[in-house]
Structure 1
Amino acid sequence: MPLFELGFPELGEGLHEGRISKWLVQPGDTIQEDDAIAEVENDKSLVELPSPVSGKVVEIKVGDGITCVVGDIIVSIEVADDVQLDGAEGGNKSSTPPANAHTPAIQSSASASVSEPEAVPEKSAAVDVLAMPVVRRYAREQGVNIASVHGTGNNGKVTTADIDGFMKRQAAALTQLSNSVSTHRTPSSTIAQARGEESEERVALPMIRQAIARTVVKSKYTAPHVTLMDEIDVTELVKLRKEVKPVAEARGVKISYLPFIVKALIVALRYRPQLNSSFDEAKQELVLKHYYHIGIMTDTDRGLLVPVVKHADKKNMWDIAQEINVLAARGRSGKLSLGEMKGSTISITNIGSVGGMFFTPIINYPEVAILGVGRITEKPVFRDGEFAVGQMMSLSLSFDHRIIDGALGQQFINDIKRLLEYPYLLLLDV
């Protein structure tokens, strides 16, 4: 039966590599076209990889946690004789099952219909170890001396499964040793523990975390940041939200303060369009955006993601609230698409949700400003000639000082303050 060898696909424009986070199938499994076969992590998100064909999984070429580039062969699938594979994206068709090893090859295109020649398994110069390059790389990444691993493949070839089995046996042995030491600890070992044994653990940085690191470094050292901080008396906003919550719930919408802030932000941007822009350094031009795509910084287990509410100025409060909730949920579950995280013109980051107040948010480059929202606290305020208890929200605005001066930044904050202190004005401005 013919064999289909799936090459690692391009997951998005300009994304030439990704990491196999987890295989969802095993050798011997029967799958259908479009079945999810693996979870793949790239710089932007965690996505499910669908199979382009139906058939039986013969061999998984790349283990969990391995980074692949576009074209690397990652899985072999046996298909029916009458299946047409020429148009199957990312795969090679072979008329016979694979020989001992089919090297993951970098293809000139993610869509190829002719198999690459098979490569001879790499042999270690130090010891007689047969292993494919991807297996050797996997061993290095896992900190395993491949010469210590018994190969179970043809001719004693070491596979990724052998590496995994070796690590499991090592872990089991260490656990057994640890239990033995705990049970039969000698006085000297007790003293050593009391003195404090220093231990370290190395954890591979997820690709998304690496991308975040590159982005914030570029932003911080490209755009000279200035941060202004202020407080807003949002007593009326708190009342308004309380009043509309039953209406929102009747619509099936959970409404937070963010939709009001988004609306106020859009009105303020219309007054101060310089903050809804990006800076083209090569041409030394300010690119003013006449549309309003609001990025919402979202904290997830995999890092800070920025889903975007597109054309927020054309949406009502309920639509914005619902979209924020849906995008945040998709972000936390790793289901955001690349399109849902592209194109923001200005961003909001809300540290108040975890109890923070004032901070210095880093601009989501190449945007020129970011609004930081802190928690709401009760404070004494002087209002109408007497002291009262006010609901005070803290704001932090960071901006690119090449484009925005301090006076303009403060005027922008003042616009937002006016709208959130008297939220009914939003009904007049939007």
Structure 2
Amino acid sequence: MIEFKFPDLGEGLVEGEVVKWHKREGDFVKEGEDLVDVMTEKATVTLPSPATGRIVKILAKEGGVVKVGQVLCIIEEAAPGAPVEAKAEARPEVRAMPAARRLAKELGLDLSKVVGTGPGGVITVEDVRRAAEAAKREVGVAEAKPAAPAPPAEERPAQPLREERIPVRGVRRAVAEKMKKSKSQIPHAYHVDEVDVTELVKLRERLKAYAGDVRLTYTPFFVKAAVAALKKYPLLNASFDEERGEIVVKKYFNIGVAVDTENGLVVVVIKDADSKSILEVARELQEKSARAREGKLSLDDVRDSTFTITNIGAIGGLWGLAVVNYPETAILATGRIVKRPRVYEGQVVPRDVMYVAVSFDHRVVDGGYVARFTNAFKELLESPDLLVLNL
């Protein structure tokens, strides 16, 4: 008998949530075959079977939280050279996002009867909701035509629920834990400024024609400008080692980018962003954002970031103060680009303006240092030709 335990995945991860078992008790599994999906604060990871044999007992149920070293299941290993048995019956694979699986489980909905409209036919949360509403309507029709008239109700009609309790699970639970750690351990301070991005708007419009199938957003420009500014002000590309009382300055530039998904906020990482062009950053960001929304990120997609950018303006906010992505030193939040009257070449004209806000660890840097970093970031966005020279 083999006890399959939740392994140490590194990155300081200590627990995860069981999202989906690919096998059931009594099934046969081959060594290396996908066995179970576990969601950590970084990504959803598919763990392979450690051996070939029959699954005797599953100890970690879907939706449950497991610690590193906790037994997930027990496998009765097949004898060496013994033929691998087939499953008792073929079960069609149901492809669904983790959030859609959880919602279906809460609603008691059979996912095999839901039509997926996501990429490649993946079932989304909206698909589950539509199926649940359709099921309710079918029940309503059946109830509207009873076999015999129902006796008049003497009781008062049931009042609608005034509260709803939502279990904090998955990415939301991981975000909650990480934000709590960040705010309790990092003394946050903030710096806000505005940037005239009129020339950047024009440059992006010109370059979109050369981007091919890559969606050229503003974020890749922000990434490249941030890297150039970080090279001048490296203390913001660092972390604080509390045990040793040291500031750890990173000589590499792995830029995290916050992605809004149905499962919650996920930070994907552009590794060695200083060595990549704006178009390369845009392509990688597009691919990783798609995988984030499908719940298919690997640990390598989300680990080892040194500085994070969150573009709240993509959704609609003018500006906001973000929470530092622990254990980094700073996070840059960019707001929505709006037209505002500004004095330009002696005249008051409408210009494209954007707010930026830097949240930082006051143990590592002071406000003046952050202001100088922000000025360097601004200069590159206000004169994007300088940004191109950094490629």
What TM-score, normalized to structure 1? 0.69
Give the conservation status (yes or no) of the 8 Å contact 2:182–2:326: yes
User: Which of the pair has more CA radius of gyration?
Assistant: 1
The correspondence for 2:203, drawn from 195, 217, 240, is: 240
Question: Which residue is equivalent to 1:65?
Answer: 63
Q: Report the CA distance between 1:5 and its aligned residue.
A: 4.5
- Whether 1:189 and 2:156 are equivalent positions in the alignment is yes
Aligned length, in residue pairs: 332
- Whether 1:360 and 2:321 are equivalent positions in the alignment is yes
Give the conservation status (yes or no) of the 8 Å contact 2:40–2:174: no
CA distance in 2: counterparts of 1:230 and 1:398, whole angstroms: 12
1:24-423 aligned at under 5 Å gives the runs 24-27=22-25, 29=27, 31-54=29-52, 60-69=58-67, 70-76=69-75, 79=78, 82-83=81-82, 186=153, 188-190=155-157, 193=159, 197-249=160-212, 252-423=213-384
Q: Which amino acid aligns with 1:44?
A: K
CA distance in 2: counterparts of 1:187 and 1:233, whole angstroms: 68
Pair 1:427–1:185, CA change in 2 (3 A): farther
CA distance in 2: counterparts of 1:73 and 1:245, whole angstroms: 49
Q: Report the CA distance between 1:84 and its aligned residue.
A: 11
User: What is the root-mean-square deviation of aligned Cα atoms in Å?
Assistant: 3.1
Task: Determine helix, strand or coil for the equivalent of 1:306.
Answer: strand
Cα distance per residue 1:118-169 (max 9 Å; x no partner):
xxxxxxxxxxxxxxxxxxxxxxxx9xxxxxxxxxxxxxxxxxxxxxxxxxxx
Q: Report the CA distance between 1:71 and its aligned residue.
A: 4.8
Cα distance per residue 1:209-228 (max 9 Å; x no partner):
23322221222222221222
Q: Which amino acid aligns with 1:400?
A: D
CA distance in 1: counterparts of 2:81 and 2:347, whole angstroms: 85
Cα distance per residue 1:32-51 (max 9 Å; x no partner):
44332332223322122323
Q: What's the % identity of the aligned pairs?
A: 39
Pair 1:239–1:77, CA change in 2 (3 A): farther
Q: Report the CA distance between 1:25 and its aligned residue.
A: 3.0
Unaligned runs of 5+ in 2: 85-105, 107-135, 145-149
Q: Report the CA distance between 1:322 and its aligned residue.
A: 1.2
The correspondence for 1:9, drawn from 6, 10, 14, is: 6
CA distance in 2: counterparts of 1:338 and 1:23, whole angstroms: 19
Q: Which amino acid aligns with 2:252?
A: Y
Give the conservation status (yes or no) of the 8 Å contact 1:61–1:76: no
CA distance in 1: counterparts of 2:383 and 2:60, whole angstroms: 58
Question: Which residue is equivalent to 1:22?
Answer: 20
Q: Which amino acid aligns with 2:218?
A: Y
Q: Report the CA distance between 1:59 and its aligned residue.
A: 5.3
CA distance in 2: counterparts of 1:203 and 1:32, whole angstroms: 37
Q: Which amino acid aligns with 1:189?
A: R
CA distance in 1: counterparts of 2:373 and 2:253, whole angstroms: 16
Pair 1:81–1:342, CA change in 2 (3 A): closer
Pair 1:235–1:17, CA change in 2 (3 A): closer
Q: Decide which moves more: 301-310 or 413-422.
A: 301-310
CA distance in 2: counterparts of 1:426 and 1:17, whole angstroms: 41
Q: Report the CA distance between 1:377 and its aligned residue.
A: 1.2
Give the conservation status (yes or no) of the 8 Å contact 1:233–1:393: yes
Cα distance per residue 1:234-253 (max 9 Å; x no partner):
1111111111112111xx32
Q: Which amino acid aligns with 1:300?
A: T
Q: Report the CA distance between 1:198 and its aligned residue.
A: 4.1
CA distance in 2: counterparts of 1:282 and 1:24, whole angstroms: 41
Q: Which amino acid aligns with 1:9?
A: F
Pair 1:227–1:51, CA change in 2 (3 A): same
Pair 1:427–1:66, CA change in 2 (3 A): closer
Q: Report the CA distance between 1:421 and its aligned residue.
A: 0.9
Q: Report the CA distance between 1:6 and its aligned residue.
A: 5.2
Task: Determine helix, strand or coil for the equivalent of 1:352.
Answer: helix
Q: Report the CA distance between 1:184 and its aligned residue.
A: 6.2
CA distance in 2: counterparts of 1:417 and 1:364, whole angstroms: 22
Give the conservation status (yes or no) of the 8 Å contact 2:59–2:71: no
Give the conservation status (yes or no) of the 8 Å contact 1:276–1:368: yes
Q: Report the CA distance between 1:7 and its aligned residue.
A: 1.3
Give the conservation status (yes or no) of the 8 Å contact 1:58–1:78: no
Q: Decide which moves more: 4-13 or 232-241.
A: 4-13
Give the conservation status (yes or no) of the 8 Å contact 2:42–2:303: no
Pair 1:375–1:61, CA change in 2 (3 A): same
Q: Report the CA distance between 1:258 and its aligned residue.
A: 0.8
CA distance in 2: counterparts of 1:201 and 1:358, whole angstroms: 31
Task: Determine helix, strand or coil for the equivalent of 2:289.
Answer: helix
Q: Which amino acid aligns with 1:259?
A: P
Pair 1:383–1:10, CA change in 2 (3 A): same
Give the conservation status (yes or no) of the 8 Å contact 2:18–2:36: yes
Q: Report the CA distance between 1:264 and its aligned residue.
A: 0.8
Q: Decide which moves more: 43-52 or 366-375.
A: 43-52
Pair 1:66–1:269, CA change in 2 (3 A): closer
Pair 1:68–1:267, CA change in 2 (3 A): closer
Unaligned runs of 5+ in 1: 86-141, 143-171
CA distance in 2: counterparts of 1:280 and 1:39, whole angstroms: 32
